Amino acid sequence: MKEIKDGTLKVGGNKLKVWFGKKLENIAKTISEWGSNMITTNKPIVVTNPSAKLVNPFTLLINFTVDNTHKYQIILQGNYKEKYKQSEDGIPDIEENDLLMIISESQNIWFKKEI
């Protein structure tokens, strides 16, 4: 196919294949967006550096990091009198795995710390 228009020569090509290629390209972009969205929404959250402090005999404060960048905390109200008496400087003797379990079970009350 040859076409001369306004001082320009177009040689070769296939309009149907160009149209079909553009359609495939649009479909691929849509699928890629769906894939990126799926990856983002289903990627696991990484929780690290849990630490706990008893503010008083009735309040437990748990701090932790999410995805190595965001700082979060949980404030739990309860009767922690025994742990408070046994603690040094308000730092209770709670194992890291127990803290991570508490964090996991309390995801609906995570509070993002603004720094």
Q: What is the pTM of this model?
A: 0.68
How many CB atoms lie under 10 A from the CB of residue 66? 16
Show the DSSP H helices in 1-115 as ranges: 15-42, 81-86, 96-105
Strand-pair category, 70-77 with 47-56: unpaired
Q: How far apart are CA 25 and CA 14, in angstroms?
A: 16
| Closest to 80 in 3D by CA, of 96, 66, 93 | 93
Report the pLDDT value the prediction gives residue 115, as an integer from 0 to 100. 67
Please report, rounded to a whole number, the percentage of residues in the chain having pLDDT higher than 70: 98
Of the candidate ranges 1-5, 31-35, 60-64, 95-99, the one whose mean pLDDT is the lowest: 1-5
Sign for the CA dihedral angle at 74, 80, 82, 88 comes to: positive
